[in-house]
Chain A
Amino acid sequence: MTTGITGTGQLTKLAFRRDVVVLPVSVLGTVALVAIVARDLRVLYPTAAKRLAVARTGGENAALRFLFGRLNGTSTGALTAWRFGVWAAAFAAMLTIFIVIRHTRADEEAGRLELVGSAAVGRQAPLTAALLAAVFASVAITLLACWWLPVLKLPFAGSAALALSIGASGLAFAGVAAVAAQLSKTARGARVIAIAALGAAFVLRGVGDTDPARLSGLSWASPLGWVEFARPFGSAGERWWPLAFSLAAFAVLVGAAFALAAWRDHGAGLLPDRPGRPAASGFLRGPVAMAWRLQGGVLLAWVAGYVFTFAAFGAATKGFDSVLGTSATLKRYFLRIGYQATVVNAYLSAVMLLAGIGAAAYATSAVLRLRAEETGNLAEPVLATATGRIRWGLSHISVAVGGAGLLLAAAGLSTGLGYGILTGSVSTQVPRLLGAAVVRLPAVLVLAAVAVLVFGLLPWESIGLAWSAVVLVGLIAVFGASLLWPPWMMDISPFTQIPRLPGGTVSAEPLLWLCGIALALGVAGLLGLRRRDLGDFGPSGLAARIRTYIEQSSGG
């Protein structure tokens, strides 16, 4: 294992160079989230009595234990570790998974490692360099959290236990990713394997935590479970030895990855390559079928993510009222976002708003696939057949619209089921929340139509502009209500115009208006598409003039 690592230093430097922005931002972001949660919990539950009330409901609710893990005490630190410890560990794991695969299998698949491998570089050097980058990220998270949490007046021992648990989870999953990168021939496949392992670890721990008395073994089998077993800030004192499990897992997995890497051929995977269909199925006839085929895989992943996330949100609803009950600030926050009389409806309305914004992000990305096809020279062969531009445009727009509808339906259904099963009211909750979710569709369509408009009229700027619209709407939704932004600002977001369901009153008028606006924007975009040149040209007339002006005035 010590042979073949020549050149690791250079490759590690290269890895840091390529990740010079992403790495620090992700490390800082992960730790900052922990710090924000700790600070918020201190502000929301300042007294021991309030914390005890939260701990009681939180600790006793199986759904909340599934989501967050088990509670080891009633201090602010213990609540922080409960509310965000497992999740921060999952974030750290995701970070190291992406780092390791990005610098191993992704480079190998793209042929970049071939170039590197032909230089004086050992065959284990790329894997070693990627692992060093991942270890660096884990250590940085640990050190930063060790410094930051005590600054927030949390005890040092607990802070260290939490920080080490999060970092150790990053290490363990760096090992998982290193093995996954050897198994699959494609970077995408490797990511799926590693993320599936992370998902399995989450579910294993979650199920184990719903019944700690009987199913504890399941939690012990999950690397994410080791975070709660380290008992950061626990009333019974920290336990350090579960950390050794993560380190052992890291060592074993890395050893396995090196052995596999030494054994396999360059470019090859260990999982067999599945051949596809030698001929197209009858379904694959025209541009619409093609667009669904091309985007189907990603949509399926979104739907799966939606079902899981919103089932969890729904399941958390039951404990929510009682948790909130002790914090007037948080209650006010939710009542404002949800504009509802009761906290449960306000919470569910906020959840549905989130579902809507997520669906808008999906629809925007699905529309912008048109631009990716255009600049990737993939529109050309299609448009050189008897497929008109409008039909081609509508093919991907149909995925955006259909996919957004599917996502909203999935959100409504799974929230309704998650909440309904726990409260024994499936038959009332499912239709109620399904309606609350689907009513967001017109607002989603407006944002998709904005993407169509800029794609048709300002293709070069379309990606930036379309995503800016989504981000703006997201900011208005998250901060606007709680920070009491002025009404004209709130009105920019199409979601502000939507009836606040569940619980609010419905009127068809704003929905029809939004649909009309979406239709007008979409038609304008398609007409623009019909008139313009196709291909990857620079900025449009106006933007080009502005750029030239800036260049001239800054250049001299």
Chain B
Amino acid sequence: MMNVIEVRGLHKAFGRTRALNGLDLTVRAGEVHAFLGPNGAGKTTTIRILLGLLKADTGEATLLGGDPWHDAVELHRRLAYVPGDVTLWPSLTGGEIIDLLGRMRGSVNAERQKTLTERFDLDTSKKARAYSKGNRQKVALIAAMAGDAELLVMDEPTAGLDPLMEATFRECVNEERRDGRAILLSSHILAEAEALSDRVTIIRDGRTVETGTLAEMRHLTRTLVEAELLGPAALEGVAGVHELTVTGSLVRCQVDHAALDEVLGRMHRAGIRSLTCRPPTLEELFLRHYSPERPVAGVQ
């Protein structure tokens, strides 16, 4: 299968700041690819290079089989983009902006645009200056998804959306995948990537630290369990339990998905007074896996 995005050893510096430091990224046709990294890792810089807005210092980048810098206009007919920081022209209405961006890209699917507008519940007759952050985000999302693009590039697309609209967004992404579109989705929220993506690339300080399918990265998706127990639960030494700390009746540990049933069973038998289970945030993962003192794991 052909890769829609192929990036190797990308470097980019702004003055003395090095934004990208040998970044690799491969997005296959038809897949939803999550592009993860903490703030300032170089996600937006990479995307801007892929869009031909910035010129890479060294390294190779291929987008839809073309050169993102030289073939920008031709390539842009085949992709759609949702910026990370959505600003809109205050004097135009949301509807005008959606139409205009679609026409400038060259493909408008009126039927789809109408459905999306209804699903995202956007009042398109309002001037952009009157929109909240979430509504501005909706305008950018509808404009991008209403076309017939082969590739969607989205920079933190759910910023500002409420949980209801986030669910709608996830449905839409799944439909796009079914239609065979490839999606590059940058985010700093691991749960979002987990819910949507086929494969994940994690970057830090302008360098790729991990890439693969979610199954291959199960170690990143442990659940953080915190419980207050009535008695001792004897979790020491159970397979799949990591970083266990017991402070009096408080128990804190990270649990692989396979061991979750076993661990909760033991806790239940000991008697549970309170319990929280949540996935670790990306920041916690980075602190644990990629903090400077530790060797960088899983570099290809």
Q: Are A538 and B15 in contact (CB under 8 A)?
A: yes
User: Counting CB contacts under 8 A, is A377 at the interface?
Assistant: yes
In the complex, chain A residues whose CB is within 8 Å of the CB of B73: 386-388
Contact of B76 among A276, A286, A386 (CB under 8 A): A386
Q: Are B99 and A533 in contact (CB under 8 A)?
A: no
Q: Are B95 and A285 in contact (CB under 8 A)?
A: no
Min Cβ gap A267→B in Å is 10
Of B77, B101, B104, chain A has the most CB atoms within 10 Å of the CB of B104
Min Cβ gap B100→A in Å is 5
Contact of A386 among B53, B99, B105 (CB under 8 A): B105
Produce 1/0 per residue, A351-381, CB < 8 A to B: 0000000000000000000000000111011
Q: Are A278 and B93 in contact (CB under 8 A)?
A: yes
Produce 1/0 per residue, B92-135, CB < 8 A to A: 11011011110111100000000000000000111101100000
User: Counting CB contacts under 8 A, is A290 at the interface?
Assistant: yes
Also in contact, A386 and B77, with CB within 8 A (given A276-B126, A284-B96, A534-B54): yes
In the complex, chain A residues whose CB is within 8 Å of the CB of B77: 386
Binds A, one of B81-89, B179-187, B271-279: B81-89
Q: Are A276 and B54 in contact (CB under 8 A)?
A: no
Produce 1/0 per residue, A271-304, CB < 8 A to B: 0010111111000111100100110010000000
Also in contact, A533 and B124, with CB within 8 A (given A294-B89, A378-B89, A385-B76): no
In the complex, chain A residues whose CB is within 8 Å of the CB of B48: 380, 534-535
Q: Are A381 and B91 in contact (CB under 8 A)?
A: no
Min Cβ gap B26→A in Å is 21
User: Counting CB contacts under 8 A, is B27 at the interface?
Assistant: no
In the complex, chain A residues whose CB is within 8 Å of the CB of B81: 380-381, 384
Q: Are B96 and A280 in contact (CB under 8 A)?
A: yes
Min Cβ gap B272→A in Å is 41
Min Cβ gap B83→A in Å is 5
Bound-state CA distance A535–B48 (Å) is 10
Q: Are B83 and A276 in contact (CB under 8 A)?
A: no
Q: Are A286 and B130 in contact (CB under 8 A)?
A: no
User: Counting CB contacts under 8 A, is B140 at the interface?
Assistant: yes
User: Counting CB contacts under 8 A, is A244 at the interface?
Assistant: no
Contact of A383 among B53, B95, B96, B143 (CB under 8 A): B53
In the complex, chain A residues whose CB is within 8 Å of the CB of B100: 280, 284-285, 290
Produce 1/0 per residue, A141-177, CB < 8 A to B: 0000000000000000000000000000000000000
Determine the residue in chain A with the shortest Cβ distance to B106. Answer: A386
Also in contact, A278 and B53, with CB within 8 A (given A382-B104, A385-B104, A537-B14): no
Contact of B91 among A279, A297, A377, A385 (CB under 8 A): A297
Q: Are B55 and A278 in contact (CB under 8 A)?
A: no
In the complex, chain B residues whose CB is within 8 Å of the CB of A478: none
In the complex, chain A residues whose CB is within 8 Å of the CB of B7: none
A-B contact count (CB 8 A): 112
User: Counting CB contacts under 8 A, is B253 at the interface?
Assistant: no
User: Counting CB contacts under 8 A, is A22 at the interface?
Assistant: no
Contact of A278 among B88, B95, B129, B143 (CB under 8 A): B95
In the complex, chain B residues whose CB is within 8 Å of the CB of A104: none
Q: Are A278 and B125 in contact (CB under 8 A)?
A: yes
Min Cβ gap B94→A in Å is 8
Main secondary structure of the interface of A (DSSP, over half): loop
In the complex, chain B residues whose CB is within 8 Å of the CB of A43: none
Bound-state CA distance A380–B47 (Å) is 11
User: Counting CB contacts under 8 A, is B5 at the interface?
Assistant: no
In the complex, chain B residues whose CB is within 8 Å of the CB of A533: 53-55
User: Counting CB contacts under 8 A, is B51 at the interface?
Assistant: yes
Q: Are B54 and A535 in contact (CB under 8 A)?
A: yes
For chain B, the count of residues having a C-beta within 8 Å of the partner chain is 43
User: Counting CB contacts under 8 A, is B161 at the interface?
Assistant: no
Q: Are B15 and A276 in contact (CB under 8 A)?
A: no
Min Cβ gap B124→A in Å is 4
In the complex, chain A residues whose CB is within 8 Å of the CB of B105: 385-386
Q: Are A276 and B89 in contact (CB under 8 A)?
A: no
In the complex, chain A residues whose CB is within 8 Å of the CB of B172: none
User: Counting CB contacts under 8 A, is B220 at the interface?
Assistant: no
Q: Are A279 and B55 in contact (CB under 8 A)?
A: no
Q: Are A384 and B96 in contact (CB under 8 A)?
A: no
Contact of B83 among A186, A381, A385 (CB under 8 A): A381
Min Cβ gap A496→B in Å is 38
Bound-state CA distance A382–B140 (Å) is 12
Min Cβ gap B257→A in Å is 38
In the complex, chain A residues whose CB is within 8 Å of the CB of B130: 273
Bound-state CA distance A384–B101 (Å) is 9
Min Cβ gap A381→B in Å is 6
Bound-state CA distance A382–B80 (Å) is 11
Q: Are A279 and B95 in contact (CB under 8 A)?
A: yes
User: Counting CB contacts under 8 A, is A14 at the interface?
Assistant: no
Bound-state CA distance A287–B143 (Å) is 16
Bound-state CA distance A381–B100 (Å) is 11
In the complex, chain A residues whose CB is within 8 Å of the CB of B76: 383-387
In the complex, chain A residues whose CB is within 8 Å of the CB of B106: 385-386
Q: Are B129 and A186 in contact (CB under 8 A)?
A: yes
Bound-state CA distance A30–B52 (Å) is 50
Bound-state CA distance A386–B101 (Å) is 9
Determine the residue in chain A with the shortest Cβ distance to B44. Answer: A535
User: Counting CB contacts under 8 A, is A492 at the interface?
Assistant: no
Bound-state CA distance A273–B140 (Å) is 23
Min Cβ gap A172→B in Å is 30
Q: Are B99 and A381 in contact (CB under 8 A)?
A: no
In the complex, chain A residues whose CB is within 8 Å of the CB of B79: 384
Q: Are A277 and B93 in contact (CB under 8 A)?
A: yes
The 3 closest A-B pairs by CB, nearest first: A280-B99, A276-B93, A384-B81
> Can you report 17 A-B residue pairs in the complex whose CB atoms are below 8 A from each other?
A186-B129, A273-B130, A275-B93, A276-B92, A276-B95, A279-B95, A279-B96, A280-B99, A284-B100, A285-B103, A286-B104, A290-B100, A290-B104, A383-B72, A385-B101, A387-B73, A535-B54
Binding site for A on B (CB under 8 A): 14-15, 48, 51-55, 72-74, 76-77, 79-81, 83, 85, 87-89, 91-93, 95-96, 98-101, 103-106, 124-127, 129-130, 140, 143, 153
Known: A276-B96, A279-B96, A377-B87; 12 extra A-B contacts, CB below 8 A, are A186-B129, A278-B93, A284-B100, A378-B89, A380-B81, A380-B83, A383-B51, A384-B79, A384-B83, A387-B73, A534-B48, A534-B54
